[in-house]
């Protein structure tokens, strides 16, 4: 009986269940932070610096404060007087950076808040903000990370340098590998551009500092509340339990909403100054583009690649310079997170990466989909493609010679990370089949005869998920973070309803659905009979210090916590049912009967439904024997990843639990007249191990592919020489839409993870495969024209400039090939 009901015996995990969230979201009944209206609520508008680097000489708020309807104006100086600077993760001089939610003495990026006006309506707040006059003394801006490292113009005087962090990763015998090499390819410069994710819903925060109970209440869409409250409690000098954070439906984040805690601080402080009235801030799109968070920009210099005679990479030596914008917020964690994918999908053992991070007079970066790993994976895929073209090996063949072999998994990388499972050659084979590789190769050959520029590119990427926060100690040995954890609660409510809560903040990933599928399989009931709480609430006391939604981990950390809580509940239910049905626990069977979800004694056919069980514990407890007094039917479980703190000296150890992978192939044509690159065909193959819900996974692959294609061809944050952000509206920064995303052929392979209970691997970030793939396809189209793609952003303008620069021998300066011995690489 139980088995038939259980999705025809196949179980609910793996079923293509429609998402529970869709019903309310598609019918406009979602609940978002901006939908919340509170009594006496005020509205906040920031006054922002027009300068990228300027000393604040004076702020005159009198005219603004005098405007009818204005409750108060708050400045950075006031905030600095009553708070602590935010915690700094970086060591040594980086610890001396003084980061407040608003500029105090200096503004160090265009758009940085310098004051905040709070008024009865958004309109009054906006008008009053234009009456605040700020006198600035412009200083020399620093807009390039390499320029920043010269310390010619220092942003944070307290730190005394623009260098946030530097470390060298070195493994194997790099110099010996270069001595033995058949080929050495030298690449002067590669550059990963600055872009951002554009969630449909911008940041929204309502903060109330209640004078009665002296607690701070937040209604917001922050996507990593446990991280935010740890920073806010120290900053606002308040006990962490006095901060309540609630999130609801969230319209996308992609990591960007992790770093909204500075604005959360301002809303609370403004509420306090306004007598405890709640203060709401709704970020405009231009504010979001100029001042929320961007992805890390990274420059790769003086790269040397050693290869043997068969084109197998034996060593890489390179200097990487990361630009984290004005403040290291969540940084410098990015300085180590890239090393989760140290060797990408390749099996070279010898490498030296000299990694630097610098502050610049630009918007602070934040974890942006693919955070810090996508930059490194793009670098490795550029290296493999450039080497392929330089020594004359086909890009698919050189990958097959360099891929980690399926039989080598679990694979330990040079820096001690453990890739749980994968089969990259199989993904390449499936992708080639889906796109019709051979037919396209023939069409390309014919097209080139007519001077058409067609390129076929491959991009192999990883989505490392469930990170070990212990890697922060590689950055700063005193960092009090390590491991990873997530909490969940599963209960039978008073009438026996199954209610689940998780410490995550879904932004469209379908957590309510997949959590219900896991619990349904444990209790052998239909997912529709399970309620999963929407959003996040500290008051549910489910969360851990790492609760939120980030780093491709819900399928592992979230669902492992849910599975653990459901198993704990099931254990209690068995004890109760065994008592009430007077039978042994082995005789019990979970399922659904005439009276709904129930537990049945196989031997007698007697059963008790969930209402009955809950009744004994919650309402009719006089019948409960003492040995069952510990049964609550309200079970919290904390799942912990099996991590150790890495060897911080050697920078060696397991930094992530699972490694989903994706392989994309793109066929791109560059119009000979307009130089506009057009995608002719596109395939995406995904391997995230056991799939909990196929349409949700497919949706994530499409989403990440759209994001990647947008970043590769359409989206780039442009700053001018004085630090003005020139792409602050959607007329200049053009995010991809459903109107210009090509048809994507989707394929799937599966290598279950030995590191998660279900075999699933987190895959929400996607690894930015399209950026690698489109760079590869453009280079394939342009290599014969003497062009090497050395930037992650390419459009008609950049291609036109590259072709024009070709006459100046652009190719020869960028890449130099040394052929050492007679080689039979072809």
Partner 1 sequence: MAIKFAGEFEVKKKPEEVYDFLTDPNRFASLLPDFQGLTVQDATHFTIKVNVGISYIKGSADVKMELAEADRPRRAQYKGQGSVAGGNVSMVAGFDLSPTAYGTRVKWQGDAQIFGRLASVAGGLLEPLGKKQVQKLIDGLQAALS
| Positions that interact with partner 1 (CB under 8 A) | 48-52, 110-111, 130, 133, 136, 138, 286, 290, 720-722, 724-729, 732
User: Which burial class, exposed, middle or buried, applies to 804 when counting CB atoms under 10 A from its CB (0-12, 13-18, 19+)?
Assistant: exposed
Residues in the chain: 826
- Comparing CB distances to partner 1, the nearer of 355 and 719 is 719
Q: The tokens of 212 are what?
A: 């009665």
> Is residue 675 classed as helix, strand or coil in its secondary structure?
coil
- Comparing CB distances to partner 1, the nearer of 188 and 732 is 732
Cα 551 from Cα 803, distance rounded (Å): 38
- Comparing CB distances to partner 1, the nearer of 138 and 394 is 138
- Comparing CB distances to partner 1, the nearer of 142 and 454 is 142
Cα 362 from Cα 488, distance rounded (Å): 39
Kind and range of the H or E element at 23? Answer: helix 20-26
Cα 489 from Cα 503, distance rounded (Å): 9
CB of 114 to partner 1, least distance (A): 12
- Comparing CB distances to partner 1, the nearer of 567 and 724 is 724
Peptide linkage before 410 cis (omega within 30 of 0): yes
CB 294, CB 366: distance < 8 Å:
yes
CB of 290 to partner 1, least distance (A): 6
Provide the greatest CA pair distance for the chain: 91
Cα 820 from Cα 824, distance rounded (Å): 12
- Comparing CB distances to partner 1, the nearer of 725 and 777 is 725
CB 353, CB 391: distance < 8 Å:
no
- Comparing CB distances to partner 1, the nearer of 97 and 125 is 125
CB of 139 to partner 1, least distance (A): 12
Q: The tokens of 252 are what?
A: 């996308």
- Comparing CB distances to partner 1, the nearer of 110 and 753 is 110
β-pairing, 313-323 vs 350-358, is parallel
- Comparing CB distances to partner 1, the nearer of 343 and 725 is 725
β-pairing, 596-601 vs 607-609, is antiparallel
Q: What is the DSSP string of 61-79?
A: -HHHHHSTTEEEEEEHHHH
For 374-383, b where at least 16 C-beta lie within 10 A, e where not — what string?
Answer: bbbbbbbbbb
- Comparing CB distances to partner 1, the nearer of 60 and 82 is 60
- Comparing CB distances to partner 1, the nearer of 330 and 733 is 733
- Comparing CB distances to partner 1, the nearer of 46 and 178 is 46
Cα 524 from Cα 592, distance rounded (Å): 8
Q: E-strand spans in 534-675?
A: 536-537, 588-593, 596-601, 607-609, 634-640, 656-670
Cα 567 from Cα 564, distance rounded (Å): 5
CB of 111 to partner 1, least distance (A): 8
CB of 322 to partner 1, least distance (A): 24
- Comparing CB distances to partner 1, the nearer of 138 and 623 is 138
CB of 291 to partner 1, least distance (A): 11
- Comparing CB distances to partner 1, the nearer of 11 and 50 is 50
CB of 130 to partner 1, least distance (A): 7
CB of 61 to partner 1, least distance (A): 15
CB 47, CB 134: distance < 8 Å:
yes
Nearest one of 203, 234, 239 to 221, comparing CA atoms:
203
CB of 47 to partner 1, least distance (A): 9
Cα 268 from Cα 213, distance rounded (Å): 14
Within 10 angstroms of residue 35's Cβ, the number of other Cβ atoms is 11
Give the dihedral of Cα atoms 351, 794, 335, 237; nearest 10 deg: -170
CB of 286 to partner 1, least distance (A): 7
Alpha helices in 1-130, H assignment, sequence order: 2-5, 20-26, 62-66, 76-82, 122-129
Angle between helices 694-713 and 769-782 (to 10 degrees): 50
Q: The tokens of 275 are what?
A: 């007598």
CB of 727 to partner 1, least distance (A): 8
- Comparing CB distances to partner 1, the nearer of 114 and 692 is 114
CB of 724 to partner 1, least distance (A): 4
Q: Which residues lie closer than 8 Å to 481 by C-beta, 6 or more apart?
A: 469, 470, 472, 473
β-pairing, 133-138 vs 183-192, is unpaired
Identify the DSSP state of 269. H
Q: The tokens of 820 are what?
A: 């050492």
Q: The tokens of 73 are what?
A: 């104006």
Nearest one of 540, 546, 550 to 501, comparing CA atoms:
540
> Is residue 533 classed as helix, strand or coil in its secondary structure?
coil
CB of 712 to partner 1, least distance (A): 23
CB of 133 to partner 1, least distance (A): 7
Cα 460 from Cα 343, distance rounded (Å): 12
Q: Which residues lie closer than 8 Å to 81 by C-beta, 6 or more apart?
A: none
CB of 128 to partner 1, least distance (A): 13
Q: The tokens of 521 are what?
A: 């399989």
- Termini Cα distance of the chain: 63
CB of 285 to partner 1, least distance (A): 11
HSE value, Cβ hemisphere, 13 Å, CA-based, for 67 = 22
CB of 225 to partner 1, least distance (A): 31
- Comparing CB distances to partner 1, the nearer of 50 and 276 is 50
- Comparing CB distances to partner 1, the nearer of 468 and 728 is 728
CB of 720 to partner 1, least distance (A): 5
- Comparing CB distances to partner 1, the nearer of 52 and 124 is 52
Which residue's entry shows tokens 């090393």? 339
DSSP-assigned beta bridge partners for residue 207: 218, 279
CA 213 to chain centre: 36
């Amino acid at each position: 009986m139980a088995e038939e009901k259980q999705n025809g015996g196949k179980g609910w995990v793996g079923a293509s269940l429609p998402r529970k969230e869709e019903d309310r979201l598609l019918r406009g009944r979602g609940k978002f932070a901006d939908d919340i209206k509170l009594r006496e609520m005020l509205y906040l508008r920031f006054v922002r610096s027009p300068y990228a680097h300027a000393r604040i000489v004076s702020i005159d708020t009198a005219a603004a404060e005098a405007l009818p309807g204005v409750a108060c104006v708050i400045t950075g100086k006031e905030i600095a007087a009553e708070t602590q600077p935010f915690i700094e993760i970086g060591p040594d001089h980086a610890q001396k950076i003084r980061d407040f939610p608003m500029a105090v003495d200096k503004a160090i990026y265009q758009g940085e808040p310098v004051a905040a006006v709070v008024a009865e309506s958004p309109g009054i707040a906006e008008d009053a903000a234009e009456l605040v006059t700020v006198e600035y003394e412009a200083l020399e801006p620093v807009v390039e990370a390499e320029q920043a490292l010269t310390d010619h113009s220092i942003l944070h005087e307290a730190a005394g340098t623009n260098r946030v962090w530097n470390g060298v990763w070195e493994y194997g015998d790099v110099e010996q590998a270069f001595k033995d090499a058949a080929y050495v390819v030298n690449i002067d410069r590669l550059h990963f551009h600055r872009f951002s994710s554009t969630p449909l819903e911008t940041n929204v925060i309502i903060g109330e500092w209640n004078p009665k109970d002296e607690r701070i209440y937040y209604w917001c869409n922050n996507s990593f509340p446990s991280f935010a409250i740890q920073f806010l409690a120290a900053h606002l000098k308040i006990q962490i339990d006095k901060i309540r954070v609630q999130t609801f439906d969230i319209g996308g984040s992609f990591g960007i909403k992790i770093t909204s805690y500075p604005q959360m601080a301002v809303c609370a402080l403004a509420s306090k100054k306004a007598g405890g009235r709640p203060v709401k801030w709704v970020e405009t799109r231009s504010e979001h583009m100029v001042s929320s968070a961007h992805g890390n920009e990274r420059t790769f210099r003086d790269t040397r690649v050693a290869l043997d005679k068969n084109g197998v990479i034996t060593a890489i030596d390179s200097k990487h310079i990361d630009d984290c914008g004005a403040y290291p917020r969540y940084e410098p964690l990015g300085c180590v997170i890239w090393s989760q994918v140290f060797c990408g999908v390749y099996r070279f053992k010898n490498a030296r990466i000299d990694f630097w991070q610098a502050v610049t007079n630009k918007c602070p970066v934040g974890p942006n989909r693919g955070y810090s790993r996508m930059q490194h994976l793009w670098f490795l895929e550029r290296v493999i493609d450039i080497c392929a073209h330089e020594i004359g090996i086909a890009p698919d063949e050189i990958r097959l010679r360099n891929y980690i072999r399926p039989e080598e998994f679990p694979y330990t990388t040079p820096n001690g990370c453990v890739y749980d499972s994968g089969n990259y050659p199989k993904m390449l084979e499936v992708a080639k089949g889906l796109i019709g590789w051979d037919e396209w190769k023939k069409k390309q050959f014919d097209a080139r005869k007519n001077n058409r520029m067609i390129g076929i590119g491959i991009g192999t990427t990883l989505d490392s998920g469930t990170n070990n926060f212990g890697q922060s100690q590689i950055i700063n040995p005193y960092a009090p973070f390590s491991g990873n954890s997530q909490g969940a609660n599963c209960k039978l409510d008073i009438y026996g309803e199954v209610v689940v809560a998780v410490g995550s903040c879904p932004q469209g990933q379908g957590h309510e659905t997949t959590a219900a599928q896991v619990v349904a399989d444990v209790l052998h009931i239909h997912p529709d009979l399970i309620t999963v709480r929407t959003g996040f609430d500290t008051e549910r006391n489910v969360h851990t210090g790492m609760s939120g939604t980030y780093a491709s981990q819900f399928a592992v950390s979230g669902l492992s916590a849910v599975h653990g809580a459901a198993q704990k509940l099931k254990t209690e239910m068995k004890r109760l049912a065994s008592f009430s049905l007077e039978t042994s626990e082995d005789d019990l069977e979970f399922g659904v009967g005439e009276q709904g979800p129930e537990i049945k004694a196989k031997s007698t056919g007697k059963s008790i439904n969930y209402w009955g069980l809950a009744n004994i514990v919650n309402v009719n407890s006089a019948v409960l024997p003492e040995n069952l007094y510990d049964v609550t039917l309200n079970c919290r479980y904390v799942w912990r990843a099996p991590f150790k703190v890495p060897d911080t000296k050697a920078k060696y150890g397991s930094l992530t639990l699972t490694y989903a992978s994706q392989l994309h192939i793109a066929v791109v044509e560059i119009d000979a007249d307009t130089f506009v690159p057009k995608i002719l065909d596109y395939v995406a193959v995904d391997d995230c191990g056991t799939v909990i819900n196929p349409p949700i996974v497919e949706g994530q692959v499409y989403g990440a592919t759209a994001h990647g294609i947008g970043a590769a061809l359409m989206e780039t944050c442009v700053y001018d020489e004085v630090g003005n952000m020139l792409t602050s509206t959607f007329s200049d920064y053009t995010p991809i839409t459903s109107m210009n995303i090509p048809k994507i052929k989707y394929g799937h392979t599966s290598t279950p993870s030995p590191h998660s209970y279900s075999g699933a691997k987190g895959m929400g970030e996607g690894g930015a495969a399209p950026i690698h793939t489109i760079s590869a396809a453009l280079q394939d189209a342009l290599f014969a024209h003497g062009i090497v793609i050395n930037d992650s952003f390419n459009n008609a303008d950049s291609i036109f400039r590259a072709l024009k620069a070709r006459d100046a021998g652009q190719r020869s300066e960028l890449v130099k090939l040394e052929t050492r011995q007679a080689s039979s690489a072809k």
